[in-house]
Structure 1
Amino acid sequence: MVSAYDFSLPGLTDGTLDLGAWRGKPLLIVNTASKCGFTPQYEGLQALWSEMDRELIVLGVPSNDFGQQEPGSASEISTFCARNYGVSFPMAAKCHVRGPETTPLFTWLAKQGGFFARPRWNFFKYLINREGQLETWFSSLASPLSSRVKDAATRLVLTH
């Protein structure tokens, strides 16, 4: 059975993010953008990453697929995230999360979650359990620090 741990993404600044390196840890995968009304969610994502002491792997995946809201280069994205939100969680290079060039990870996530799980805007969130399977997903409207998101993530972190 295919799991999230079977995928990899190019890293934002260099190298490859091999999700298999985090096998056994829950993941929160989020398609992000720097010029979106939901961009302040970076702050909540960073807080989750810090509060859960890296037991929950937060993975940002910049995408320019919605409203051209991630036009920057890798360097510009990295600088923006660090300067404005103190982002220290792993970030992938800019990827397509919808359309004919969708990165395989997001194709898999959409298949696992069904039609409504396909990202329809920036900051869709996908919570992956310790077995690498999609546990649940949240739309852009769900803040990373909302009780729905935080409680679901905490349950996975506490489940061994």
Structure 2
Amino acid sequence: MTARLSFAALLLAALAGPAFAAECPALLLGELPKLRAKESIDLCQRFAGKPLLIVNTASYCGFAPQFKGLESLYKEYQAQGLEVLGVPSNDFRQEDADSEKTAEVCYVNYGVTFTMTEPQVVTGDQAIPLFKDLAEQSGPPRWNFYKYVVDRQGKVVASFSSRTKPDNDKLREALEQAISSQP
């Protein structure tokens, strides 16, 4: 019965079009492989219409302890719709080549429960489309743990350097602005 209701709700959403379901912004077109999983993350399906904090991460970076603060932000604002997306990258040569070790750092060492992808290229010509779009809107990440706050329409509200800790007041203000944005 529940599966039928879910299917019916999806069918109604598809028939009603954008007035019922959030449209997918260009920023979220595509899929990324999920860390320590066989499935991929359909960015539109998972994040469209939601406020989002996107962070490029690296296991061996001196900023890796920020995982704890990012997890705290996620838990604090999750009920208000906030999603956090961690995208490990070796662009700055501080990520392990073995994604199992990356997963261990995230999930075991820091207790991350927000969405994490397999390591990706986030800078330059080879950057994944998500980070190309972020760079066009706000500039490329200059180091690991660069933070992008994205509103419900897929627009970057603010970006923050690696040195900006997750408990920073300006970061929190940007998150609250993204949360209060209309889908």
Same topology, TM > 0.5: yes
- In structure 2, the residue matched to 1:7 is 30
- Considering Cα pairs closer than 8 Å and 6+ residues apart, tell me whether 1 or 2 has the greater RCO: 1
* 1:94 aligned partner, one-letter code: P
The residue aligned with 1:46 is: 71
Shift of 1:83: 1.6
Q: Who is 1:32 aligned against?
A: 57
Any idea what SS the aligned residue of 1:46 has?
helix
Indicate which of 145, 153, 163 corresponds to 1:131. 153
The match for 2:87 is 61
Task: Find the aligned partners of 2:142 and 2:90 in 1 and give their Cα distance.
Answer: 12
**More deviation in 56-65 or 136-145?**
136-145
Deviations 1:88-139 (A, max 9, x none): 00001100111332111111111111xxx21111011111100111111111
Percent identity over paired residues: 42
Larger Rg: 1 or 2? 2
Aligned Cα root-mean-square deviation (Å): 1.6
5+ long unaligned stretches in structure 1: none
Moved over 4 A (4+): none
How far 1:80 moved relative to its partner? 1.4
- Aligned with residue 99 of structure 1, among 110, 116, 124: 124
Task: Assess if the C-alpha contact under 8 Å between 2:91 and 2:122 holds in 1.
Answer: yes
State the 1:5 CA deviation.
2.4
CA contact (8 A) 2:28 2:130 kept: no
Establish whether residue 109 from structure 1 lines up as the match of residue 131 from structure 2. Answer: no
- Structure 2 unaligned residues grouped into runs of 5+: 1-23
Structure 2 distance, partners of 1:98, 1:152, is 23
| More helix per residue | 2
